[in-house]
């Protein structure tokens, strides 16, 4: 990817980034001069009052650093609500638990659509790590009728008893911290950071035993060793994260949408520079070290890891498919055709192109639908990619 020139952030933002670096440097000093990439990422994204997701930067949507499907079109939320309906209707008091709700736009569109279809939810729970986004979600959802607003609850951990209904997460797994590694002379090195004077720099060291084992497991799985100089990532604590989410679902379905691949493609020999992607000023780039605290860092999702983690906890992997197929089978064309305002219909058609086109989001984004103690009807129209997992 070519080097990108960004506009210089304003002084307030620059001061904040300096403050983040100062605190980061103290943390590095407390850890014998080195932090793993995972710890670095966790700090610059999620450290309360300092991290990218903790502060008031605009982040998502128009004027932000990146855009997500719910920000592009309300039809995304309509489609998801339609796909959740058969499972939700099985329960007398169904609830939805959304993880990482961003601006609250997806929650708004889902709740609105279910309300229009006369589906009553017991609760719509939101598990959100970012204090700033929680406030934005509250403002977005305050536009819903009062009698619906009272059903929305913000949580710091999943509901203790577990809900009956659906768990959803759009573009959340890509934002979970990961380790980065490199192969040098047939050995694994772990990528991390240190400071040279006041400058934040990347520094490698011998990989920890836990990371080595995790990488060996991947190599066994994909049937080849990583080639020299290749760089990649791994979410070492993903299974623990999934276990924590699992506690929130007693019975029902879980839908994860994100950009990513099955493991063999994720760790394909053709991708020798990994799958990390950073976003700043609505541009994608590959430098995680610029403006700490002001930019987003993420990486594609290894959907085989999600499927394995779910399977180990007794879930059925019901579906793994391209986002375009998932949306296409969710009656959203019907929603467009029933729109009576011509201009709005044209706008909707433009928006769904972004969600459907293979080179935009249609194929790079995948949907994985899981079920837990809940029989759901198979979604016939969808091209199933589970054989790739």
Ligand X SMILES: C[S@@+](CC[C@H](N)C(=O)[O-])C[C@H]1O[C@@H](n2cnc3c(N)ncnc32)[C@H](O)[C@@H]1O
Question: Residue numbers of the site for ligand X (CB under 6 A)?
Answer: 53, 60, 68, 70-71, 99-102, 106, 127-130, 133, 170-172, 175-176
Q: Could you tell me where the DSSP H helices lie in 223-331?
A: 238-246, 263-266, 303-312, 323-328
Minimal distance, residue 245 CB to ligand X, in Å: 9
Nearer to ligand X, 127 or 294 (CB): 127
Nearer to ligand X, 38 or 226 (CB): 38
Nearer to ligand X, 102 or 188 (CB): 102
Q: Could you tell me where the DSSP H helices lie in the chain?
A: 11-30, 37-46, 69-72, 74-88, 105-116, 131-141, 146-149, 209-222, 238-246, 263-266, 303-312, 323-328, 332-337, 342-356
Nearer to ligand X, 70 or 192 (CB): 70
Contact between residue 164 and residue 95 where contact means Cβ atoms under 8 Å apart: yes
Nearest CA-CA partner of 6 in 287, 386, 344: 287
Distance CA 267, CA 219 (A): 9
Nearer to ligand X, 172 or 215 (CB): 172
Minimal distance, residue 163 CB to ligand X, in Å: 16
Distance CA 216, CA 188 (A): 10
Minimal distance, residue 171 CB to ligand X, in Å: 4
Following DSSP, what letter does each residue of 48-114 receive, concatenated? TTTSTTTS----BSTTSSB--HHHH-HHHHHHHHHHHHHHHTT-SS-EEEEES-TTSHHHHHHHHHH
Minimal distance, residue 272 CB to ligand X, in Å: 26
Minimal distance, residue 172 CB to ligand X, in Å: 4
Q: β-strands 187-196, 35-36: how paired?
A: antiparallel
Q: β-strands 296-299, 276-280: how paired?
A: antiparallel
Nearer to ligand X, 53 or 320 (CB): 53
Minimal distance, residue 60 CB to ligand X, in Å: 5
Minimal distance, residue 244 CB to ligand X, in Å: 9
Strand partners, 380: none
Nearer to ligand X, 175 or 382 (CB): 175
Distance CA 223, CA 118 (A): 50
Distance CA 297, CA 160 (A): 31
| 3-class DSSP state of 376 | coil
Minimal distance, residue 98 CB to ligand X, in Å: 7
Nearer to ligand X, 130 or 371 (CB): 130
Nearest CA-CA partner of 104 in 144, 63, 65, 64: 144
Ramachandran angles phi, psi of 108, nearest 5°: -60, -50
Kindly tell me the sign of the dihedral angle through the C-alpha atoms of 358, 111, 98, 52: positive
Residue of minimal CB distance from ligand X? 100
- Other Cβ atoms less than 10 A from the Cβ of 131: the count is 13
Minimal distance, residue 377 CB to ligand X, in Å: 26
Nearer to ligand X, 91 or 128 (CB): 128
Nearer to ligand X, 68 or 194 (CB): 68
Contact between residue 43 and residue 51 where contact means Cβ atoms under 8 Å apart: yes
């Amino acid at each position: 990817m070519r080097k990108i020139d960004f506009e210089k952030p304003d002084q307030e933002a620059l001061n904040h980034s300096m403050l983040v670096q100062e605190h980061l440097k103290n943390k590095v000093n407390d850890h014998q001069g080195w932090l793993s990439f995972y710890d670095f990422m966790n700090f610059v994204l999620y450290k309360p009052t300092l991290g990218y997701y903790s502060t008031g930067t605009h982040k998502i949507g128009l004027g932000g650093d990146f855009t997500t499907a719910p920000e592009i079109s309300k039809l995304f939320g309509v489609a998801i609500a339609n796909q959740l309906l058969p499972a939700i209707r099985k329960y007398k008091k169904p609830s939805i638990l959304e993880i990482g709700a961003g601006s609250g736009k997806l929650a708004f569109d889902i709740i609105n659509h279910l309300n229009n279809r006369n589906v009553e939810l017991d609760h719509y729970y939101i598990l959100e790590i970012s204090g700033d986004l929680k406030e934005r979600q509250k403002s977005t959802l305050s536009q819903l009728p009062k009698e619906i607003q009272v059903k929305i609850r913000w949580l710091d951990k999943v509901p203790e008893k577990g809900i009956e209904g659906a768990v959803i997460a759009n573009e959340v797994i890509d934002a979970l911290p990961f380790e980065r590694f490199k192969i040098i002379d047939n050995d694994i090195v772990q990528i991390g950071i240190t400071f040279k004077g006041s400058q934040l720099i990347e520094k490698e060291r011998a990989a920890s035993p836990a990371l080595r084992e995790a990488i060996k497991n991947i190599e066994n799985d994909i049937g080849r060793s990583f080639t020299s100089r290749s760089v990649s990532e791994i979410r070492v604590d993903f299974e623990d994260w999934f276990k924590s989410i699992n506690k929130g679902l007693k019975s029902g379905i879980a839908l994860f949408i994100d950009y990513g691949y099955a493991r063999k493609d994720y760790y394909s020999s053709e991708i020798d520079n990994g799958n990390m992607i950073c976003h700043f000023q609505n541009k994608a780039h590959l430098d995680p070290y610029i403006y700490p605290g002001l930019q987003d860092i993420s990486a594609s999702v290894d959907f085989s890891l999600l499927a394995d983690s779910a399977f180990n906890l007794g879930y059925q992997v019901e579906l793994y498919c391209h986002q375009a197929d998932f949306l296409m089978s969710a009656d959203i064309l019907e929603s467009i055709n029933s729109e009576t305002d011509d201009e709005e219909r044209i706008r909707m058609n433009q928006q769904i192109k972004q969600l459907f086109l293979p080179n935009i989001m249609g194929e790079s984004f995948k949907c994985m639908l899981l079920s837990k103690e809940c029989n759901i009807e198979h979604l016939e129209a969808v091209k199933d990619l589970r054989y790739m997992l």
